Structure formats: structure tokens, C-alpha cells
Amino acid sequence: MHTTLRGKVALVAGATRGTGRAIATALGEAGATVYCTGRTTRRHRSEMNRPETIEETAELVTRAGGRGVAVQVDHLESEQVRALVERIDREQGRLDLLVNDIWGGDPLAAWDTPLWKHPLEDGLRLLRLAIDTHVITSHHALPLLTRNPGGLVVEVTDGTAEYNAANYRVSFFYDLAKVSVNRLAFSQAHELGPYGCAAVSLTPGWLRSEMMLEHYGVTEETWRDALVREPHFVISESPAYTGRAVVALAADPDRARWSGQSLSSGRLAQVYGFTDVDGSRPDAWRYIVEVQDRGKPADATGYR
């Protein structure tokens, strides 16, 4: 990366895997100190029951050139989040970037199942994981972030506000969760503006996360083999693409121009000029609208 965030302090809440891990690593590459939080450590697994850990993420940040700090936090537990922010204040005296990437709801979503048939407790917990965690984290972190002008909040979701407003997202609870996170950014932007700080929501496209690669039985190196099973996966992107989007935003001295907006990795790549790991610039949400949702044959020509 040609940008630098050396001297900046970031909290990536939900950094265990996927987009959160990639964002943390990209921030490390740009020189930032990154607090990497999540529930899964080398000694304890969350209900996700995945092997990735926050310690691994912190090590990736440090190897990339920054300083990674792993802190086990359940972001539904207010006191744990309060203690986390107090620690950041004690150790750094500032917070420049908050990335709310907490999720963990995939195992709870019953796809293509109407509200009245969906297990209610699973749906309500999905909402708590997707929304309450973000609210609790911002509540405790924003007093520190607003201490200095220029702070940025990035709310990570799935789908732009425009797309989610017009399209049902395969499950009542998932749909509500992802629409809500876009609105969290919009509301925080209004409240942060008088303090010289900004908030945006950011969505990756069709993500080649660890779970998605396993689902298709491929690796990051062999991901195109998945096109036999799902041709539209041709527009997919690595998690690093969204990480680079966050770095571009955080390093932009005029980042406040985006405040309150719903952004995508593909859109920001066109503005800032960064690429995915393969040198391409996939524009997934334009592809989804213009190709996939219209039932056209899978063809990413002109979209990456």
C-alpha cells in the first residue's frame, strides 16, 4: 500500500476471520496499531466452532508491518466492551478508527424460510449478534473516538442500502439485520458530524471468506473451480479487497465527504484505484443487479 496509517489506532471488532481479519491485516500493512477482537482464541472456540483465532489475526497484523493486539471480547457483554475501550485509552490515549464487523449469525439463519416458520430464538439471537453488538461497541468506543477530530466508524454489512431497500435478502432475520447495519452508519454519521468525525457503511461483494471457500471445496488459489457449481462466483472477491477499501478511506484526509453513505468495495476501488489481490477491480453489486438478478449468463466481462 502506498498510504500510511502509522501512529493511528484502530479497533476491528469481529476480527477473527473473513472481512474483519482482512481489514485488520490491511490496516497493519499501512502501519496502524490494531486491536483485534472476537470470541475465538487458541484456548476457546465460540459457537461458530471455527479454527481461526484472534491471536492469528493479530500476528498477521504485526507481520504486515503494524502492531496487532488480540483481545478476547464478547461484544454482547457491555462490561467486556467497556473494559476493552478503557484498555485502549490507557495504552494508546486515542482511537482513530472503529470497524464494527461483528457478525456470527450464519449458522442461525434458516434460508428461504418465512418468519413464522423460522426458529424464533435463532432469529432473535441473529439480530442481537448483528445489531446489538454494533450498538454496544459504538456506545463505549465513540467517547474515545470523538476526543480527536477525524475519527471514522466503518459499519460492515452485506449489501448496499440501495440494494437492500429493493431486494429481499433470503431470510426475514438476515434481511432485517443487514438493512439495520446500513442505518446504524447513517445515524452515527449525523451524531458524529459536530465532533469532526464520520461514519459509513461498507459492504464487500461476493466474498471468498474461509467459510465460502470451504462451502465450494476450493482454496483462494483454486477458487475458479467453484464456477462449475456456481457460475456467478466469477464476480467474487477476496477479503483483502474490502481491507484495502478501509485503508483507502482511513487514509483519505477528505474522508468526511463519504459520511452517512452506504459504500461498496467495488465502488471505492474505482475512486481510489486499489485492486484485489489478482490485480482486478470486481464491481460485484453492479454485476448482481445487471447480470445475476436479471437471469443473464455468468460473465464478469466489464465488471472486474
Q: What are phi and psi of 33, to 5 degrees?
A: -90, 125
Query: Any idea what DSSP says for residue 207?
Result: B
Show the cell assigned to 158.
Answer: 452485506
CA dist 92 to 32, 67, 129, 288, Å? 12, 12, 28, 42
- The amino acid that residue 236 corresponds to is S
Name, in order, each residue with C-beta under 8 angstroms of 252's C-beta and a sequence gap of 6 or more.
Answer: 272
Round to whole Å and give the CA distance between 214 and 177. 24
Set 35, 163, 168, 174: catalytic member:
174
Q: Does the active-site annotation cover 174?
A: yes
User: CA-CA distance, 282 to 301, in Å (whole number)?
Assistant: 10
DSSP structural state of residue 250: H
3-state secondary structure of 59: helix
Q: What is the DSSP letter of 107?
A: G
**Helix (H, G, I), strand (E, B), or coil: what is residue 182?**
helix
Going by DSSP bridges, is the β-strand pair 152-156/97-100 parallel, antiparallel, or unpaired?
Answer: parallel
- DSSP structure string for 224-239: GGGGGT-GGGGG-B-H
Letter for the amino acid at 204?
A: P
What residues are labeled active site?
Answer: 174
